[in-house]
Amino acid sequence: MRLSPGRAILYGTIVVGALDAIDAIVFFGLRGVRPIRIFHSIAAGLLGRSAFQGGLATALLGAFLHFFIALTIVINGTVKVLDFGLAKALGTGTAEAAPYDRDSANSGRPVC
């Protein structure tokens, strides 16, 4: 069974967002921080310090923002993979994922 691109991005977003949230909850939990405070911290990027005075609604906003950020990361990665595959198929890119020197008459030599 093959996934549609939209479903693959959705599943990728859920996996990336969940694993990152679990990592943050465990990492900061071992240091005495409650999970709701972690999501308040994310919401504080949008609301400022007042997010820490908020309750569950503010934490849910933080969770929503967290998964929205995960979505942008998954989409960015998808675009890069597709771009690399297209460049390789067209013969316009290099075999490596390194950037190449476009100024040297499209020599295709890696910059780094």
What pLDDT is recorded for position 78? 85
The pTM (predicted TM-score) of the whole model is 0.71
SS3 content of the chain, % helix, strand, coil (to 5): 70, 0, 30
Q: Could you tell me the two tokens for 26?
A: 């465990």
Residues 65, 71, 77, CA angle at the centre, nearest 5°? 140
Q: What is the per-residue pLDDT across 76-97, written as a single tens digit (0 to 9) for each? A: 988 888 777 666 666 665 555 5
Question: What is the band of 5 on the pLDDT scale with cuts at 50, 70, 90?
Answer: confident
Question: Any idea how long the chain is?
Answer: 112
Name the one residue in this structure whose structure tokens are 């972690």: 38
Of 37, 102, 81, 86, nearest to 63 by C-alpha is: 37
Compute the average pLDDT of residues 16-25.
96
Q: What is the per-residue pLDDT across 25-76, written as a single tens digit (0 to 9) for each? A: 999 999 999 999 999 999 999 999 999 998 999 999 999 999 999 999 999 9
- Other residues' Cβ atoms within 10 Å of the Cβ of residue 78: 14
